[in-house]
Amino acid sequence: MNTIIAFILMFGLLVFVHEFGHFIFAKRAGMLVREFAIGMGPKVFSLKRNETLYTIRLLPLGGYVRVAGEDPEIIELKAGQHIGLEFSESGHVNKIIVNNKSKHPNAHVIEVEKADLDHRLMIEGYEVDAEDRLVFQVDPKAVFVMDENETQIAPYNRQFASKTIPQRAMQLFAGPMMNFLLTIVIFAIIGFVQGVPTDEAIIGEVVPDSPAEEAGFQSGDQVIKIEDTSISSFDEFKAIVGDSPEEELSMVVNRNNEQVELTVVPKSIKSQDQEFGQIGVTTQVEKSVIKAIPYSLEETYFWGKLILVNVVKLVTGQFSIEALSGPVGIYDVTDQVVQTGFMNFLSWTAALSVNLGIMNLLPLPALDGGRLLFVGIEAVRGKPIDPQKEGIVHFIGFALLMLLMIVVTWNDIQRLFL
């Protein structure tokens, strides 16, 4: 149960932060945000507030912010169509009844001649069985009513395509950017609460019943020499110990300004067909806000670089597709991480956050990076690519991503039962 709760909270946080980035920059640019969704598939919960429908959906496969103009509007008024109109106190149309007009007895029924709800915000037509042509001004926040569901119209100045290239690019980049910021914040919290490792080879804690305890190591000891090699950092100390499983090592430590000689035999540890030595000590840590901030940046850079290297290996064939993990694999790892402690769970969340940001910036159709690529092409050529052609590319890309998700999930399931 703890794993399920942890996974839901982690998934919800990562997706919420990502989509909130898209949402807030869309609102700042004046775009009409139709829906803010966490998850995919059928709605589990929904709440309409102001112009936006907030939803939680069943499948934990991501989320989305649906901005007007990013996908074709499903309602279009055509010549000869009969519609009902309701008016605001100012006399502007505020409701356009598409069907079930009998349920709206106060609606003014007309036959449409033409309508422009993008620029002029006008509907022209005739009363039924009348010849006088009428022109109606439409309120910018008017709604369509179809099957008793209301959908706000989207004048062109509220649509994604109407905004400048920098505004559109920022709205697309904001999701991954928020994931990077979340990673930095989480690692800063970890660094402040748990402490930041010092660069020097100073022992923090000695594990009970470990080779280090048997050899006489104490907290606060500073390792200054191993055999004939001078030690200036914990990484150097760790590297020599790791390369010396089951080998006797003579060390000199500085303890209370006195040099003490100790002899220790690192225990052999095997992991993924590799063997390394370990004596059972941790590095000393410092708890400081000043130290935590650069630590968070270093950790974010480390994980970001690691993920990019792995992406390159995947593209170049050094990794097979079987090495990828989807929601099932992530859940399985989360289960293992949760059992090791809350701080490790936070680190795992931070790593997934930067991973989500980087993967979304890949220049693949349907991803933020793919859409940013189209915006960049528009900036270079001076005019946008045909929206229908771009839509086909993104649709094909989305279908391929869903196929990849199915394959990865199947691999995850097979790994669980092998």
Residue pLDDT, tens place only, 348-400: 999 999 999 999 999 888 889 999 999 999 999 888 888 788 878 888 877 87
More confident residue, 100 or 128: 100
pLDDT at 254: 94
Which residue of the set 19, 248, 378, 390 is catalytic? 19
Q: Where are the alpha helices (DSSP H) in 266-341?
A: 289-315, 327-338
Q: Is 317 found in the same domain as 276? A: no
Q: pLDDT per residue over 108-119, tens digit each?
A: 999 999 999 999
- Residue 76 forms part of a structural domain: no
Q: Is 280 found in the same domain as 302? A: no
Any idea what DSSP says for residue 382? S
- Tell me the C-alpha distance between 368 and 169, whole Å: 9
Report how many domains make up the chain. 3
Burial 232-254, CB ≥16 within 10 A → b, else e:
eebeebbebbbebbeeebebbbb
- Residue 228 forms part of a structural domain: yes
- Residue 231 forms part of a structural domain: yes
- Tell me the C-alpha distance between 38 and 63, whole Å: 4
- List all residues 6 or more positions away from 42 whose beta carbon is below 8 Å from its beta carbon: 57, 58
- Tell me the C-alpha distance between 245 and 8, whole Å: 41
pLDDT at 416: 65
Which of 286, 319, 348 lies at the terminal end of a domain, its last residue?
286
Q: Is 409 found in the same domain as 332? A: yes
- Tell me the C-alpha distance between 155 and 30, whole Å: 11
- Which of helix, strand or coil describes residue 290? helix
The CA-based diameter of the chain, rounded to the nearest angstrom, is: 107
Q: Is 120 found in the same domain as 141? A: yes
- Tell me the C-alpha distance between 65 and 175, whole Å: 10
Which of 153, 178, 209 lies at the terminal end of a domain, its last residue?
153
- Tell me the C-alpha distance between 178 and 357, whole Å: 8
- Residue 163 forms part of a structural domain: no
pLDDT at 70: 75
Q: Is 303 found in the same domain as 413? A: yes
User: At 138, which amino acid appears?
Assistant: V
Backbone angles phi, psi at 253, to 5 degrees: -120, 150
Any idea what DSSP says for residue 233? S
Q: pLDDT per residue over 294-314, tens digit each?
A: 999 999 999 999 899 888 887
- Tell me the C-alpha distance between 63 and 350, whole Å: 18
Task: Quickly state the pLDDT bin for 135 (edges 50, 70, 90).
Answer: very high
- Residue 25 forms part of a structural domain: no
- Residue 268 forms part of a structural domain: yes
C-alpha distances in Å from residue 311, one per residue of 113, 308, 349, 388: 55, 5, 19, 30
- Tell me the C-alpha distance between 68 and 86, whole Å: 23
Of 63, 331, 40, 60, nearest to 179 by C-alpha is: 63
Q: Is 221 found in the same domain as 110? A: no
Q: Is 139 found in the same domain as 119? A: yes
Output the domain CATH number for residue 215: 2.30.42.10
Q: Is 297 found in the same domain as 274? A: no
- Tell me the C-alpha distance between 360 and 345, whole Å: 22
Q: Is 310 found in the same domain as 281? A: no
Number of H helices, E strands in the chain: 9, 18
The packing angle between helices 342-360 and 289-315, to 10°, is 50
Q: pLDDT per residue over 49-73, tens digit each?
A: 989 999 999 887 789 999 998 766 5
- Tell me the C-alpha distance between 174 and 26, whole Å: 9
Which of 131, 153, 175 lies at the terminal end of a domain, its last residue?
153
- Tell me the C-alpha distance between 140 and 28, whole Å: 18
Q: Is 322 found in the same domain as 280? A: no
- Tell me the C-alpha distance between 138 and 164, whole Å: 25
Q: Give residue 390's domain range.
A: 289-417
Question: Which residue, chain included where needed, has tokens 């960049």?
Answer: 376
- Residue 10 forms part of a structural domain: no
Q: Is 275 found in the same domain as 300? A: no
19: annotated active-site residue: yes
Residue 290: other Cβ atoms inside 10 A: 10
- Tell me the C-alpha distance between 308 and 368, whole Å: 16
Q: Is 93 found in the same domain as 109? A: yes
Label the pairing between strands 267-271 and 149-152: unpaired
Mean pLDDT for 321-350 is 81
Helix, strand, coil percentages in the chain from 3-state DSSP, rounded to 5: 45, 30, 25
Of 357, 303, 347, 349, nearest to 330 by C-alpha is: 349
- Residue 53 forms part of a structural domain: no
CB 98 within 8 A of CB 88: no
Residue 7: pLDDT above 90?
Answer: no
Task: Quickly state the pLDDT bin for 15 (edges 50, 70, 90).
Answer: very high
Query: What percent of the chain shows pLDDT beyond 70?
Result: 95
Beta bridge partners of 125: 112, 134
